[in-house]
Amino acid sequence: MDAITYDLDQAVQIVDTESEVVLYPAFLDATTAGDLAASLTDHLGWQRLTGIMFGRQFAVPRDTCWVGPVAYKYGSIRHDPAEWPATLLPLRLALEEALAVPSFATVLANRYRDGRDKVDWHADDEQIFGPAPVIASVSLGATRKFKLRHNVTREVHEMHLTAGSLLVMRGATQLEFQHCIPAQKAVANERINLTFRTLSSRA
> Residue 33's closest CA among 196, 197, 144, 194?
194
In this predicted structure, the answer to whether residue 203 has a pLDDT above a threshold of 80 is no
Domain boundaries along the sequence of the chain? 12-197
**How do strand 50-53 and strand 56-59 relate by DSSP bridges?**
antiparallel
Average pLDDT over residues 51-77: 82
Closest among 11, 33, 21 to 177, alpha carbons compared? 21
**Closest CA relative to residue 180, chosen from 109, 113, 107, 117:** 117
**Phi and psi torsions of 97, nearest 5°:** -70, -50
The closest alpha carbon to 37, from 145, 203, 189, 196, belongs to: 189
pTM of the predicted model as reported, rounded to 2 decimal places:
0.94
What are 13-39's pLDDT values in tens digits?
999 999 999 999 999 999 999 999 999
Mean per-residue pLDDT for 51-67? 80
Per-residue pLDDT reduced to its tens digit, 136-169: 999 999 999 999 999 999 999 999 999 999 999 9
CATH class of the domain at 12-197: mainly beta
Beta bridge partners of 21: 15, 169
